[in-house]
């Protein structure tokens, strides 16, 4: 079954709702989340509820961890947002609703091996928020291809075949060459899985993209034999025999989310401004 993989919603309900509508319109029935549901954005309660209701499962990101436990290595803006988010979760007057959200967040895993259809480990799919080495906190940056090839080699040692990550909010594909391909450099924004190379796929961010494209980012993963689904405008990606991953962007009401952020003193205005620029 084609699977939509979302990440880094960061309490941005406008972006999440637009992405869920796009996923539904394409006929994708299964959704998973790589974490950072909350932190930064103005609608943490609604975002937790939407993820809980719509996703098969979610991972724990560093911001989910920061809100639940402690904001480790956060800058002052991120720390203030984490404490505000915790207050917002605590302020829920309905005991049952509050308990359910905390229970859901408390049970998030840091690492899931998604599934291994077919023979051997051809499609061993590892899912983490940050990196296979340090699932919650390590960043894998496009620059690492040039500046830290040893780091990438160590990271790839922990990847059997395919790995999905979020965390940097920059979508694209790392191969074990090592190389990095932004979605715009891929035909039809689609990467086809290959027997001959390992790949770490960053799905980008729903709620706070940082690749200078302000639209919400997510991917649709297809495994061997699954048929490509058409976009709302009718295009279909061309998939190889091993399946592949299609990168998708979705416009949403940035203005509405930014207004809410600016009305909350504990959330820095920069968190609103950056949404318009996608950085």
Site membership for Zn ion, residue 211 (CB under 5 A)? no
Q: Which stretch binds Zn ion (CB under 5 A): 30-38, 44-52, 173-181, 209-217?
A: 30-38
Q: Which of 3, 14, 23, 36 binds Zn ion (CB under 5 A)?
A: 36
Q: Which stretch binds Zn ion (CB under 5 A): 7-15, 26-34, 156-164, 269-277?
A: 7-15
Burial label for 279, CB within 10 Å (0-12, 13-18, 19+), is: middle
- Residue 204: CB minimum distance to Zn ion, A: 10
What's the rounded Cα separation, in Å, for the pair 31 and 57?
8
Site membership for Zn ion, residue 8 (CB under 5 A)? yes
Structure tokens given for 42: 């103005």
- Comparison of 175 and 208: residue with beta carbon closer to Zn ion: 208
- Comparison of 139 and 181: residue with beta carbon closer to Zn ion: 139
- Comparison of 36 and 114: residue with beta carbon closer to Zn ion: 36
DSSP state at residue 54: H
Phi and psi angles of residue 51, each rounded to the nearest 5 degrees, phi first: -65, -45
- Residue 122: CB minimum distance to Zn ion, A: 30
What's the rounded Cα separation, in Å, for the pair 237 and 247?
10
* Cα-Cα-Cα-Cα dihedral sign, residues 258, 260, 264, 267: negative
Select the residue whose beta carbon is closest to Zn ion and give its number. Answer: 36
Number of residues that bind Zn ion (CB under 5 A): 2
- Residue 151: CB minimum distance to Zn ion, A: 20
Site membership for Zn ion, residue 64 (CB under 5 A)? no
> For 147-173, b where at least 16 C-beta lie within 10 A, e where not — what string?
eeeebbeebbeebbbbbbbbbbbbbbb
Q: Which positions touch Zn ion (CB under 5 A)?
A: 8, 36
């Amino acid at each position: 079954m084609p699977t939509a993989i979302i990440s880094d919603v960061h309490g941005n309900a406008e972006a999440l709702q637009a992405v869920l509508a796009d996923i539904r319109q394409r006929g994708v029935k299964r959704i998973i989340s790589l974490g950072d549901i909350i932190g930064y954005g103005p609608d943490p309660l609604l975002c937790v509820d939407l993820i809980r209701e719509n996703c098969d499962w979610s991972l724990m990101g560093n911001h989910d961890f920061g809100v639940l436990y402690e904001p480790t290595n956060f800058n002052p803006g991120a720390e203030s947002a984490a404490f505000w988010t915790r207050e917002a979760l605590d302020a829920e007057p309905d005991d049952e609703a509050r308990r359910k959200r905390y229970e859901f967040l408390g049970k998030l895993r840091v690492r899931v091996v998604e599934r291994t259809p077919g023979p051997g480990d051809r499609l061993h799919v590892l899912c983490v928020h940050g990196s296979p080495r340090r699932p919650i906190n390590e960043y894998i940056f496009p620059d690492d291809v040039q500046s830290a090839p040893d780091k990438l080699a160590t990271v790839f040692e922990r990847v059997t075949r395919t790995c999905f990550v979020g965390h940097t909010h920059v979508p694209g594909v790392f191969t074990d060459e090592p190389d990095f391909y932004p979605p715009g450099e891929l035909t039809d924004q689609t990467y086809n899985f290959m027997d001959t190379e390992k790949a770490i796929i960053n799905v980008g961010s729903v709620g706070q993209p940082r690749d200078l494209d302000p639209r919400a980012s997510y991917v649709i993963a297809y495994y061997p034999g699954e048929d490509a689904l058409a976009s709302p405008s009718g295009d279909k990606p061309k998939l190889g025999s091993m399946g592949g991953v299609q990168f998708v962007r979705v416009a949403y009401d940035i203005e509405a989310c930014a207004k809410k952020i600016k009305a909350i003193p504990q959330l820095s205005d920069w968190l609103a401004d950056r949404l318009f620029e996608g950085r």
